[in-house]
């Protein structure tokens, strides 16, 4: 990296570019980061790639050319190959999620999952399913562990199916769940897009929401609020999440100790897609 500040913070998203057009989370997240960075005349250099290999290649290019002062690393996975490379090339980084070495902004997944599950159990639901995000992601695993632990305590065996955050996955997996031999009475989704698609799939099958099926989305958004009925969500202040990450990035750039931070905690927001179990 060059000795002179570049005025940019890098963010590489290893995900299908088509999802960015429909998934509000990252746009709100980036807006929060940019709002705080703008106070220091810094901007976000965003790069969308197909996989971690291409992401690492981007980090090496940026470091070699001195294009960014620091990077934000999102979606940690098990045995993540990215932190060792960033240490090797001496590119300052902040991880959004848990990391044993690099500064990070952590998220409590267990508490909100327990809260959502508690609401569903309180409504009498016992056939509970979850449409997850990619299983390699650490936050997907944390949510899964929390759900399994909570269900075990309640004597419930949940059904887990893996999605990719897309509309197509939400519709396909919901249809499969609802047309199976023991359809769930409640489904939790790992993002808003899959949940909205699941709501539409239930309507196509003639399954009334919330009379015969309750749905809960993780991440609130305009999509959830405008759905009919409006979706019950685990709502996160995504904009503030981005601001918090930017605070850690600025400390990294300034070379001062990075304060341990947590993202805003997701909270259960009941709307029109949850009700007492009908059977």
Are residue 218 and residue 259 in the same domain, yes or no?
A: no
Burial class (CB in 10 A: 0-12, 13-18, 19+), 78: exposed
- pLDDT score recorded for residue 103: 95
CA separation for the pair 232, 116 (Å, rounded): 10
- Contact of 190 with 140, CB cutoff 8 Å: yes
- pLDDT score recorded for residue 1: 40
Domain membership of residue 270 (yes or no) is no
92 to 53, 100, 209, 245: CA distances (angstroms): 19, 15, 47, 13
pLDDT in tens, 199-242: 999 999 999 999 999 999 998 999 999 999 999 999 999 999 99
* 160 CA to centre of own chain: 17
Which residue, 190, 187, 183, is CA-closest to 199?
187
Task: List, for the chain, all residue ranges whose pLDDT scores fall below the cut of 70.
Answer: 1-4, 17-22, 279
Domain membership of residue 95 (yes or no) is yes
Residues 6+ apart with CB under 8 A from 83: 73, 93, 95, 99, 101, 102
Are residue 91 and residue 19 in the same domain, yes or no?
A: yes
Domain that holds residue 63: 8-107+236-265
CATH number at residue 50: 3.40.50.2300
Are residue 227 and residue 114 in the same domain, yes or no?
A: yes
In degrees, rounded to 5, the angle at the alpha carbon of residue 46 between the alpha carbons of residues 112 and 68 is 110
- pLDDT score recorded for residue 2: 41
Q: Is this prediction's pTM over 0.85?
A: yes
- pLDDT score recorded for residue 5: 74
Are residue 60 and residue 125 in the same domain, yes or no?
A: no
């Amino acid at each position: 990296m060059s000795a002179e500040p570049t005025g940019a913070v890098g963010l590489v998203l290893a995900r299908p570019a088509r999802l960015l057009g429909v998934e509000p989370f990252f746009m709100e997240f980036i807006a929060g980061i940019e709002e705080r960075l703008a106070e220091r005349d810094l901007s976000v250099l965003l790069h969308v790639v197909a996989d971690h290999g291409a992401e690492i290649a981007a980090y090496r290019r940026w470091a070699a050319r001195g294009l960014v002062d620091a990077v934000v690393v999102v979606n940690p996975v098990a045995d993540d190959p990215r932190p060792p490379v960033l240490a090797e090339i001496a590119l300052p980084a902040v991880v959004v999620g848990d990391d044993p070495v690099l500064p990070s902004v952590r998220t409590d997944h267990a508490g909100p999952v327990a809260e959502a599950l508690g609401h569903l159990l309180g409504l009498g639901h016992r056939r509970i399913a979850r449409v997850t995000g990619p299983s390699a992601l650490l936050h997907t695993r944390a949510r899964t562990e929390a759900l399994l632990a909570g269900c075990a305590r309640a004597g419930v065996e949940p059904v887990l199916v893996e999605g990719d955050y897309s509309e197509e996955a939400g519709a396909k997996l919901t249809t499969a769940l609802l047309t199976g031999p023991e359809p769930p009475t409640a489904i939790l989704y790992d993002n808003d897009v899959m949940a909205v698609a699941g709501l539409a799939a239930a309507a196509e099958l003639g399954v009334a929401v919330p009379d015969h099926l309750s749905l809960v989305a993780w991440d609130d958004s305009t999509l959830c609020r405008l759905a009919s009925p409006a979706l019950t969500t685990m709502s996160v202040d995504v904009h503030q999440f981005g601001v918090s990450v930017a605070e850690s990035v600025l400390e990294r750039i300034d070379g001062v100790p990075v304060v341990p931070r947590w993202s805003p905690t997701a909270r259960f927001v009941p709307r029109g897609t949850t009700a007492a179990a009908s059977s």
